[in-house]
Every structure is written in structure tokens, then in C-alpha cells.
Structure 1
Amino acid sequence: MAKVLTTLRQHWKKSTFGACLLGWGGHWLYGKHCDNLVRRAACQEAQAFGNQLIRATMPLKKATVFLNPAACKGKAGNLFEKNAAPILHLSGIDVTVVKTDYEGQAKKLLELMESTDLIIIAGGDGTVQEVITGLLRRADEAAFSKIPIGFIPLGKTCTLSHTLYPESTSQVQHITNAALAILKGETVPLDVLEIKGEKEQPVFAVSGLRWGAYRDAGVKVSKYWYLGPLKTQAAHFFSTFKEWPQIHQAALAYLGPTERPPEEPDETSRPHFFVRLYRKFRSCCLSSKESSQEVAPEDWEELKLSTIELSIATQNRQLDLTRTEDFMDICIEAESISKGQFVQRGSQKMRDPHMCPEGSQHIQASRCILHLPEGTQGSFGIDNEEYEAMPVEVKLLPRKLRFFCDPSVREQMLQAAAQQELVAEGQGPPDSPGSHQGT
């Protein structure tokens, strides 16, 4: 033992390197072991769904998976096969996996897709945007938009995963949670933005549109990979050398929020004959009454804007299941900002792209038209995908699609909404000082 200690002391550099290597290897092996335990527990939970008895005449549920193997730097295919595919197959669902080979293929495949019970998107923000665009461009989109959609986050940017699933430090845990959420069947309605140019077909988004200096600098962050944790600051700092201030000018016309109609309950069985007769009679009466009334002119608001960045975002980031109005958030950021503030705020926007900083003009609208000056160059960021900047009309489609979510996340949304109602009524939350009254 003394000889071993003497040798280690004499070769202390090699001993230190070996100890670090051994510690790193042990940590890596422990992480792999934890991931295997997570996979095993998820598969056992999925097996319970697969063991449930069904009628002999009841067909198996069909799920169509749109997988983008190129997501996450080409690792998405392996991540799906190891973490999500076993869960889906053990659940007893008839799974068909469609792998995309090039950008834009998912839009074309959706036009040819036959009937299915579930649509599952396995990829990142770009894959989500392609699938919902192809889905809503169909001639029969009214029927297909009612198909519930599952999202398995496999891409570099997965904005929706923060809304649908609980936060997790493990990627394996995050993917298995998403796959299990599809089996549990809880869904939430998400808004969609219809973005239409002058010539091309409309593009659909679930997060929003960005146009401005922060977006332009953000897409160049990967060029400074050699600077490590300073690459984000470097990209925004060097972008100030080309032009300053980076002002974007346009004209904006918009309509205010619309009142949310009551949501019709989902009915698994056919209603009674008299119920169907009453509904048909009521719809006929309402349609005749509406046709006799004059249509009120739309009250458009117009303004000229000069901003460092404009963003148009849905409410899907902070979902409120009980809100009474439907609108999208338009954020017009102030043009007067120092270079230091630009670099600091740019780092914040990499984490929350649609953050609306203090001092910005905030507008709630159900529809807007963005007019750009002739000769405007640059690009839009639509759900983190790049599109040529052009005059566009953006229309909100409230609660257009239903996405599967984790039941605990849905429960938190409902509890938060109930607490807000109590605060609005002046009662305050149960544990607040204002809620206790003296006896």
C-alpha cells in the first residue's frame, strides 16, 4: 500500500488525470443507468395500456408519426427509436412511421395522408410548422384539424414542449413523458396563426412571427461556436458594427380581440333524436336571423411603426384555458436602445424569443396586416423557420388544433385559472392575508 501511495505521489500529474477520467467515466455510466431505469418504467406504464381489453369488433387506433431524422443534428432518429417507439408499440396502437428526407416534404405528405386517429410529430419547431401547415392547407382541413396531435420533442428548439410537458433536466425523461402523454389522452386547444403573403399559399404557426435585429443576430449565433458560452453575446455585439441603429419601418393595420364563444362539449355517442332536431331548428333560426341583420363594418386601427423588432405571438406560451377573449400579442419594441442593452437583451431573447421588454408598445389583435416599404430586405422568423420578408396578413385561428399534454400540466393550468378568478373577484388565494376574516 505504501508503495502504491509513493508511486501516485511521484506521478501526481498522471494520477490526477486518471482520477478525473475515472470520475467522468463513472458519472457517464451512472447517467446511462438512470436513463435505462427511466425507459424501463415508461415501458411498464405503456404495457398497462396495451394490456387493456377491447371489443373484438373495435379496430385498433391508428397513429401516423412524422419523424424528421435530421433534427437534433441527425440524432432524432436514434432518439425516437430508443425512447419513444417502444412506448408507442407497447401501448397497442397501430403505428405508422413516416420519415422525411428533405425540407418541406411533410407538407406534401400531409396532402396525401389518409384517415388516421392520431398524428404524432417527432422533431423540432420546424417539423411542427411543416406538419400543421400541410394539415391546414388540405381541402378537408375542417375534419382533419379535429384529429388530436402529439408532439415528441427531438429537435434543437422545441418551443411547444415547455407548454405541454413538465420541465425535465434529462432528455430521455422529457421524450418518454411526451410519449406517455399521448397514451393518457389529455389534450389542450392551441391557437394557430395563419400567415398569408400576396402570392404564396398561407403558412401556419403555433408560436409566432419575428422580424427585426434580434432575430437576425440570433440566427448567426452558431457561427461563433468557438467562443463557447460567449457566442450569443458575440453574435449580437458584432451585429452592431454593420449598422446602428437597426431600425425596421412598416405600417400596421389591426383588429381588436374577439369574444370567445363557448366551447362545445365532445360527444362520444350520438345525441338523442329530439336533441338533434332542436339543434337543427336552432341553427336554421340563427342563420336566418344573422342573414337578415346588416354586417357591421370592421373597425381597423392603423399606425406607422419604427422599431428594432416586431413580434406577433400566440397565447400558447402561457395558456389560459378559461380566458374570455381570443387575441394574439403584437410587441413593437422601442427603437432607442444602447448597444450594451442590445447585447444583454439579445441573450434574454435567445431563451424567450417572444419576450416583450419594458417600454415596448403592446397590442392585442385578432387580425393584422403588415405593410413593408418597397425594397425591404431581410427575413421573417416563423416558428424559428426563415421566410423572406414581405407584406403579410396574419389571422388568428383560436383553438384550432388540439395537442396532447401531460395531465399534471393541464391540472396546473386549471388551478392557475381558478386562482386568477378568485383574485379577480377580490377574494384572493386561500392562503393570502386578505382571505382570512376575523371571527
Structure 2
Amino acid sequence: MSGPRPGAAHPDTPQPSDPQPSAPVTVVGVGADGWGGLSGAARAALLGAGVVIGGPRQLALLPADCRAERVPWPSPLRPAVPGLLAAYAPRGLVVLASGDPMFHGIGRALAAEAGPGRLRVLPHPSSVSYACARLGWPVEDTATVSLVGRPAARLAAALHHGRRLLVLSAGAGTPAEVAALLTERGFGPSTLHLLEQLGGVRERHVTATAAYWREPPGEPLNVLAVECRRAPGALRLGAVPGLPDDAYEHDGQLTKRQVRAVVLAALAPAPGELLWDVGAGAGSVGIEWMRTHPACAAVAVERDPERAGRALRNAERLGVPGLRVVTGAAPDALAGLPAPDAVFVGGGLTVPGVFDACWAALPPGGRLVANAVTLESEAALAGHRARHGGELVRLAVSHAVPVGGFTGWRAAMPVTQWSVTKPPQEPAV
């Protein structure tokens, strides 16, 4: 999946339509405590509304003296938003949402569609606030991962020993799915807290370890809190690039750990940026680019179908299932891809047209990093540097290995790396 372009809307963000109705829209957050938990301003807005839109569960929380027409959200929800706003906003529209509408809620779509100036948002405490209050966890020190409409595999990138996580569940089956994932990823000793119907009369708190989770599916409205504990002997994965080579399934076509760390440092990922990983092999560079921030995205281009499959499996296992893998040979496979913010060429640099296609796709300020291990590809790097500038670095890595009863150094093939930033305007050649 490709990532958002700098300055552009995130791919999940609805785009405003034109023309827009001008009537204001009030958005009211409601919790499991229903009408009794609403502020005076929120109750007044609902009592004075002509139309209230919300999910069936939220609409059922309204009292009989709220006489507005009640309209349930259709499915799919997002495409219906412009028409619903146009039809009902002039009649005094209030939208009901769970908790804080601007935290993984409908408020984002409404702000993008109607414009934030037309919204009056009356938030309720979010499930995150409730969960941290119940557990005594500081909100600012607690990471949150949403699995609503997203694969559970993305949780793997957030797993670190001693870390506290809150998981926004997709439904009643999420706790068991998370427990199984934690156990499979080596975090079976982690403590899970299942928090259901937070703030309501049916609030419930269940605690068990991931490896021994036996709780049957319960309330669909739940949050899962995780106290991460890595099992003895489980592979430790850090938060910075340069994961152990053993973290990857590969056939030897892998940018090795030390070189990979240098590559990612030169690529300099920033939140929201998109990488092309050309000649991706096991997908390690694109995967570690995406692990630097949840908003980073990457496209891995690999001509060998078996290696492309490995890259997908590696991405799933390492917590970035959104990695887009394109099976095909560059430069032809690059056609039609979204423009990148950075490009890594790990293989195929001597193939005619590969560099030209990558360079042409980069915007001004975009970065390109290329590795070479043969004399021919080194010569190509030197030629590109002569035309476009940048920096050439020779990377030499040696490992200590047994030599009889002693220890000696075994050198890996040296890697020549070229890194360059595309200037605002290409100089005349």
C-alpha cells in the first residue's frame, strides 16, 4: 500500500466535495454510560436537533424526549457522508459518535468533508482515557494501536519488552486474536487486560497472560491493554533499523544488518513518506523503513516471485502488513507507482533505464541511495555521481570466526554506497 505524499491528505482521509452545504453540524461523543454521561451542552444539542445520525447502538441510547429523526449510518459509511450532510445539515444535524469523535472516529471524515469550521465537536472521554484511568497508566506513556478495520499483524511492530500498549479492538474476537499473535511472536508471557463497556453499568475487567488466554468472545465494545513481556530466548527486535538477519526469511538475497542500518540512515525516513525499494529481495529495507513510523509506507519491487512472497511474509511477521509488493522487473514495474520521497536501489542498477526511471520519479529534495558490490555496478555509481553529485562511501564489514583453536576475521564483500538528494533544479549537463 502506498503512503501519503508530503502535504497531501492521508489515503484514509476523505476528500472534501464541492459544492458543500453551509449549515453547521454538531458532533456529540457518547460513551457506554449513554444519556446520563452526557454534558448539559451535549444533551441540549440532541434535544434541539432535527436529525440525529449514528450507529444503531448509539441511537438506542437516546431517550424518548429526543424527538429528532434518527438516521442510522448506512454501510459502507464513507461514500454516504456527502449525501447525508447535504440532505440533513439544513435541518439541524447532530452526529453521534463513540467517545472522542476526533480519536479514530467519524470526526475525521466529517472535518475533511464539511470543513472544520462547520463542525462543533462535543467530545466524551475516549476509551483510551477510560482504560488508562482504570489501570493507573499515564496516557502520554501508553502507545495505542488501532485494529479497527486493520490487520492484527500491525501490532507486532509495537511489541517491546516492558512496553504498555492499548489495542482498540475490532470486535469480540480481537482479544483472542491478539493473544495468539503475541504468543506466536514470542510475547506469550505478556499480561492482557480485557476492558469491556468502559464507563457503563456492564463494565468488566478480565486479566490473564497471552499464552493462557481462554476467555470466550464477549462484548464487541472492548479495549485490550497489554503489558509486554518477551519470552526467554525469543528474538529481540529493536526500535531502530538494523534488525538481526535472523528476523527475516531469506535465500541470501538480503541487505545485511550492518549495511542495512547505514542504508536507512542515509534514506532518512520521516513520518508520512513513501519509499521505493527496488530489487527488494527479502524486503528488509522497505520493512524497516515502515517500522520507523506508522505513517511511513513502502513499495517493494522484486522480479522473482518467490522472493516477492518472502517479502510479504516478512512484512506480516514484523508488523508492517501494509508493505506493497510489486512482482516484476524494473524499470517496467515502476510505471504507474505513486511518486516516492526516497528510493533505494539494492539491485539492478546496471539494468538500462532503472536509474533514469527512479531519478525522474523523485521530487526535488527526494533522496536516492544505491548499493554496489561488483566493479560494473561501482562504475555505474561513479558515473551517476559525476553527473548528479552526492556521496560515495565504501562499507567493509568483518566478522570474528574460529580459525583452528583461535579467532580471526572473515571479511564480507565490501559494499559501495552512493547517496544523493535531488536538487530543486537539475544543473545543465
Q: TM-score range by the shorter chain?
A: under 0.3
Q: Higher relative CO (CA 8 A, sep ≥ 6), structure 1 or 2?
A: 1
